[in-house]
Chains A and B, each alone.
Chain A
Amino acid sequence: MPNIFQSMFLSGGRAKVWRIFSLVILLLIVGLLIVGGGYYNRGADWIASKTGQAVKLPTVKETPFRLGLDLLGGTQLIYQADVSAVPGKDQPSAVEGVRDVIERRVNVFGVAEPNVQTNLSAGKYYVMVELAGIKDTAQAIKMIGETPLLEFKEQNTEKRQLTAEEKKGMDAFNKSASKKAEEVLGKVLSNGDFAALANQYSDDPANVDSSGNKKGGELGWISEQDNPELFKLAQKVPVGKTSTELSKTSIGYQLIKNEEKRTKTDPFNNQPQMEVKASHLLICYKDVSGCESGLDKEAAKAKIEQLKSKANKDNFAQLVKENSTEPGARDRAGDLGWFGRGKMVKVFEDAAFSQKVGTIEGPIESEFGYHLIYKQAERKIDEYRIRNILIKTQSESDIVGDQSDWKNTELTGKYMKRASVEFDPNDNSPTVALEFDQQGGELFAAITKRNVGKRVAIFLDGLSISEPTVNEEITGGKAVISGKFDIKEAKLLSQRLNAGALPVPITLVNQQSVGATLGQQSVNASFRAGLIGFALVALFMILFYRFPGVLAVGALAIYSVLVLAIFKLWPVTVTLSGIAGFIMSIGMAVDANVLIFARLKEELAFGKPFGAALEEAFRRAWPSIRDSNASTLITCFILIQFSTSVVKGFAITLAIGVLVSMFTAIFITRNFLKLIPESWLEKRPWLVGVNKH
């Protein structure tokens, strides 16, 4: 008789069975390493220490189970967001704003892997916050429930000034820097090797790579967005040449070598990236916040269609001035200047980029209303590959350090009514308008009055988001944050501010917390229940089905390892009910085996030879296994769709269990059975529980 290894490489049915068997064993080993990686690693360490590091087994990655809060201990809070005051289409973004704010606050709280999700269910918005291992729930609730902090600050005039001595030191430093820069420029101009000079003189930290080697001043490709100061310098230097004069940037003297110029391309499709110059005409309608056109949606659409029929290149600017509902359209004629991808809302951008230069397209519907777009020009985006030499200069902050530029005022988000996106009448750039209540308006007036000509800053949760200069006292309780942002950023900011002012109040509707003790108890109890359940099933199977029962228990063990490995790899969040689902699936996994064995017994009782009976048993058991499991799977998938976390966990683990059990019963048990030589079994019919006549 050939040994196992010979059998494996022989052709024919049994060789295939052995190959499948070794595949199953391989699968089992991989599964065991995933499930019990920690035990294996400790074993490997132990062997290494016992053998004096002579036998060193490779270690494996330890993947933990992802435990649910009921097992880990922790808190789940569910807030309902009251969006009744927000117009329908702004509701999702208002809730997202709430989510962002909560997430930032939770991060401040220092929770390991917090989980903050929004959820729309039966027309209501919920925000679910999961805090693993948090004991002080009350504190967490307090932090989350607080109104997000919007603060107005004025300049800190008590900042420390440089002493005369420090000033002298700084001047001396900058003077020597200037001298050094002149000297290096001289060397560059006398055709010195730019890379070598960069390595010798450059103070730029970017000239040193992560392993400490100097890079010869290489900075790579730079576009206007990446570094406007260096980009401007590069534009002045012809390709292949170096700077011929000293240029000063905010951090010091810069000498550059322009190595190459190219058009920026999209790394995914290698197409050149473009910028577009366009102007637009906007007709907003009633649902859009801040729209004063008074038109409903149909009327707005009709109006813009009618305008489009009249519009041409020559009268477009005039039409915009007369009709566009965009604030400031009269002055700027809807001009948007040059913009690249990602700067405008997507629908608008897609339309503007795809239309031909010189055409007027539309109407395009965005969240601001209907647009007509006149595309004036299109160009490629330039990039330069440059090297630089930086000779650093000192500024005040280098000496006295970062002092807080700002001090608090009384005005906070508490006094804000709402924020919305508007357009600056002068340059048509998007701005964020704030509206205060009565008291906030008075405070704001006082602040602007005492800070005319100076800057005030707007902080959201401790971060400065805008620092406008005050031109005059502002009464009437309205402020505008203008600045360097595009439509998208302006929207985000207003959304965050609105969350700060909480036009969407949140209420805690559901709170669950589980102490670490109870979590641990639950894990232990479930573990015990699982083991006992498994042992009972094994005992039953072996007593009733004898030899095939033993094989089925083997398959069941492999089944359990595989399912647990899937839980770890996917990863499935293991909750108490999830464990119940898994234990239950052990019982159901046996069902497939029972069906097959019951058939096997019958076929053998008919007097069929073992091999044929086995094939027949599997063939005939299959339809019932398929149909019966299908109904369980249907139930599981509907549960997953319609239920909340607890039930969902149960359904997910049960579904995984059912799917894997079909695989193990058909594939693994069958192969185990096929491995047994028929003649051996046929001589011992009691092993399969059949009394042959």
Chain B
Amino acid sequence: MTNYNIIGKRGIWLWISGILFVVFGLALILWRFKFGIDFTGGSLLEVKFAKERPGVSEVQTALADDKSVGNLGSLIVQPVGNQDMIIRFQESSEEKHLAVVNSLTKLAQSKTKDNTVEELRFDSVGPSIGQELKQKSVNAIFFVLLAILFYISYAFRKVSKPIASWKYGMAALIALFHDAIITMGVFSVLGKFYGMEINTTFVAAILTVIGYSVHDTIVVFDRIRENLPKSHLDFEGTVNMSLNQTLVRSINTSLTVLLTLVAITVFGGASIRAFALALTIGIAIGTYSSIFVASPMLVVWEKWRQKKAH
């Protein structure tokens, strides 16, 4: 069996992770997210033009000039596919919705006579709901973290030597923080430069990434847990051996999960594309961190403890 000295080069991996973490963490602090209407309140209207689709600026001027529409707050018009168009505005009342659809129909028919506008989707969210969703999401994340820390500490209660079982939990938590922050940071960058919005499903994606990251880390830790009592190597060597033993499995599993996720991202339709993309990025990073962050952290921790003892 091949034997890579992963732990020996832990400095390199931890530096890479550290830099990624800081860069995307900064992006997150600087740019935050581009929140979708789930969080900010507002309306999203997706329509399909049967014949010719008017241009973005045409739609913008038509809606701005139409007196029956009035003020929509901010207005974003975005063509999708060949015939569809997504229109976002801040106002969330039913009257505005109808007025916009009427205005679009008029515009469509001024271009081609028997053109029609089919309404594919309309979402509108009041601002208070958005606030509440944010709060709920934060609560959910907090409880997931807490529950996972408890579970790992419990699952690893029998291997308190040489390092305490709660440290496995902490190392797993650090790895998942790393995964979550980098994934969120990527979306912050995507939001800044490509206008990608996040909505409630993004929260689900982040939570799933957290769950998966831990899932993956536990498999590696489990091998360490199994090897520790019978290993002739020191702690560092045992961890490295365990990593090598699980390396193929970790990569294979992640590869299969990523295969299905890529399938969703590419073929799954527009509405869950961002969701699947978040999962894809998060799980790729989660796989990396379970090998190159979580386990090296255990060794670093142990070395530090030894040093302190002397």
Contact = CB atoms under 8 A, between A and B. Distances in A.
A584 B260 contact: yes
Contact of A630 (B125, B151, B208, B258): B151
Interface string A564-601: 00000000000011001001101110110011001000
A631 B94 contact: no
Contact of B222 (A509, A584, A623): A623
Interface string B118-141: 111111111011001101110110
B268 A526 contact: yes
Interface in B249-306: 249, 252-253, 255-264, 266-269, 271-272, 275-276, 279
Interface string A610-627: 000000000010011001
Contact of B210 (A630, A635, A642, A644): A635
B275 A533 contact: no
B218 A647 contact: no
A667 interface: no
B203 interface: yes
Given A594-B252, A638-B144, A584 B128 contact: no
A591 B253 contact: yes
B46 interface: yes
A577 B257 contact: no
A514 B133 contact: no
A643 interface: yes
A536 B207 CA distance: 25
Contacts, number: 235
B260 A511 contact: no
A631 B148 contact: yes
B219 interface: yes
B263 A631 contact: no
A327 interface: no
B256 A540 contact: yes
B143 interface: yes
B132 to A, nearest CB: 5
A525 B259 contact: no
Nearest to B252: A594
B242 to A, nearest CB: 11
B144 A577 contact: no
B200 interface: yes
A541 B50 CA distance: 44
B256 A639 contact: no
A628 to B, nearest CB: 4
Interface residues of B, number: 76
A247 interface: no
A204 B249 CA distance: 79
Interface residues of A, number: 73
A654 interface: yes
Interface string A639-659: 101111011001100100000
A534 B267 CA distance: 13
Contacts of B245: 602
B200 A580 contact: no
Contacts of B48: 517
Given A526-B269, A627-B218, A643-B200, A588 B94 contact: no
Contacts of A529: 263-264, 266-269
A634 B200 contact: no
A583 B263 contact: yes
A654 B211 CA distance: 11
Interface of A: 70, 78, 80, 121-122, 124, 137-138, 141, 507-515, 517-518, 521-522, 525-526, 528-530, 532-534, 536-537, 540-541, 544, 576-577, 580, 583-584, 586-588, 590-591, 594-595, 598, 602, 605, 620, 623-624, 627-632, 634-636, 638-639, 641-644, 646-647, 650-651, 654
Given A540-B255, A627-B219, 9 more contacts: A510-B124, A510-B129, A525-B267, A533-B263, A534-B260, A536-B263, A580-B264, A590-B253, A591-B256
21 contacts: A121-B136, A124-B128, A141-B94, A510-B124, A514-B120, A517-B120, A525-B269, A526-B268, A533-B264, A576-B272, A580-B264, A587-B257, A590-B257, A623-B222, A623-B225, A624-B219, A627-B155, A628-B216, A628-B219, A634-B144, A650-B208
